[in-house]
Amino acid sequence: MSEEGGRERKLPIWRYDRGQGFSSLRDAVLPERELTLFLDGEELASGLLTEGNEEYWALGHLATRGLIESREDVAEMRLSENILSVRRTRALAGVLPREKVTFAPLSVTWRLSAETVVAAVKTLSEAPLYRSTGCVHVAALFSRDGERLFVAEDVGRHNAVDKVVGWAVEKAHPLEETLLAVSGRLPRDMVLKAALVRIPLVASVSAATEAGITTADRAGITLCGFVRGGRMNVYAMPERFVEWNAETPRGGPSEAGEAEDFPRFSSSSLC
């Protein structure tokens, strides 16, 4: 299942090739939509989104800020031109990305194979808008068995995550039973989104920051970066993998530079 909308447009450009000079052609370019989110009559957020699934974006944005807990907390949603208005059935205080949040850490209630995560992240590069424009981030929700549930592509990495979370909120799909694959880096604010909606595993082709790792560790989230080429770095909660050996010490080869052996970004990499 994937996102609808957000189709690219063909525009005239000029391309330079060494030894051949300039040539004209039409190339796929991504359109953007400016959208302002109002919550209970007050402006909450504003930004540029890739067209498609704006309602999912609103639900996901509210859920990952603790402003709603389920679809039942939303009484009404109205999309009109560049304004999306949401009215809630009850008011929740929510949190800001920079706030200190106390978590009830997720426990390891189910486990999966490392290859399930490797395969999930690999599918991100197959997203159609990414392949045609190279101009989007991709986020995807998978079941614990590796079934792809929903994919979103957006010019903003946070927007893409909000859209897949919003899909789960709309469908009442239990996020505690999913894993999230993303194309962007994993700083604190991205991990915090997952923590607030109780997603137990987040994986990316890119890297995690120190604050992102600390947040994942405190929230009980398995955090994986540089997932590519059959390998990955696991920054927190490796116990969720069936291959995990509890006797493997922290430190060791990775501190000597093993992470540097991963391929760096190329024209085919999502980042």
User: Is there a domain that residue 42 lies in?
Assistant: no
User: Is there a domain that residue 137 lies in?
Assistant: yes
Q: How far is CA 197 from CA 119, 226, 244, in A?
A: 23, 23, 25
User: Is there a domain that residue 77 lies in?
Assistant: no
- Domain count of the fold of the chain: 1
**CATH assignment of the domain containing 193:** 3.40.140.10
Q: How confident is the model at residue 130 (pLDDT cuts 50, 70, 90)?
A: confident
User: Is there a domain that residue 176 lies in?
Assistant: yes
The pLDDT value recorded for residue 97 is 63
User: Is there a domain that residue 213 lies in?
Assistant: yes
The pLDDT value recorded for residue 256 is 33
User: Is there a domain that residue 66 lies in?
Assistant: no
User: Is residue 236 pLDDT above 50, yes or no?
Assistant: yes
User: Is there a domain that residue 13 lies in?
Assistant: no
Q: What separation, in Å, do the N-terminal and C-terminal C-alpha atoms of the chain show? A: 22
**Using one digit for the tens of pLDDT, what is the confidence trace for 5-49?**
557 778 898 888 998 999 998 888 888 889 999 999 999 999 999
Q: 225 in helix, strand or coil?
A: strand
**Using one digit for the tens of pLDDT, what is the confidence trace for 175-215?**
999 999 999 999 999 999 999 999 999 999 999 999 999 99
The parent domain of residue 118 ranges over 114-261
User: Is there a domain that residue 142 lies in?
Assistant: yes
